[in-house]
Amino acid sequence: SAVISQKPSRDICQRGTSLTIQCQVDSQVTMMFWYRQQPGQSLTLIATANQGSEATYESGFVIDKFPISRPNLTFSTLTVSNMSPEDSSIYLCSGRLAGGSEQFFGPGTRLTVL
C-alpha cells in the first residue's frame, strides 16, 4: 500500500495569485495523478504527472494554468496559477503502485479563492 500526504490541507487565496500544492508518497509509485473535486461531487482528472517529463493533461486543462512537476517517484507538485473564484475546489493527489490497479489518495487540499 501507499500513504499519500498533501500540503497545504487548505488555503484561502486572493484572485490573481498562485498556489503550489505538494504531494508526498511513502512508496515509489509509477503513476501519479491530480484530480479536482467540488464538494459532494465526483472527481475530475486534471493530469497524469510523469516523472522527469511533462505532465499529460486532460481536455479542458492546460499547462499554463496548472503546471505540474514530478522530479522523482515519490513527489509531485501542482500549481494553480492566476487563480479566480472558479478555481475554488478540492485538489486531490493520487498514486498507483507498479503492477497494481488500486489508486491511493491524499487527503486533499481545499482551496478557496476570493
Partner 1 sequence: AQTVTQSQPEMSVQEAETVTLSCTYDTSESNYYLFWYKQPPSRQMILVIRQEAYKQQNATENRFSVNFQKAAKSFSLKISDSQLGDTAMYFCALLRYNNNDMRFGAGTRLTVKP
Point out which residues bind partner 1 (CB under 8 A). Answer: 31, 33, 40-43, 45, 48, 56, 92, 101-103, 105-108
Nearer to partner 1, 70 or 106 (CB): 106
* Smallest distance from partner 1 to CB 102, Å: 5
16: left (phi over 0), alpha (psi -120 to 50) or beta: left
* Smallest distance from partner 1 to CB 59, Å: 12
Helix (H, G, I), strand (E, B) or coil at 102: coil
89-109 per-residue burial string, b: 16 or more CB within 10 A, e: under 16: bbbbbbbbbeeeeebbebebb
Nearer to partner 1, 20 or 41 (CB): 41
Nearer to partner 1, 47 or 113 (CB): 47
Helix (H, G, I), strand (E, B) or coil at 86: helix
* Smallest distance from partner 1 to CB 52, Å: 16
Helix (H, G, I), strand (E, B) or coil at 5: strand
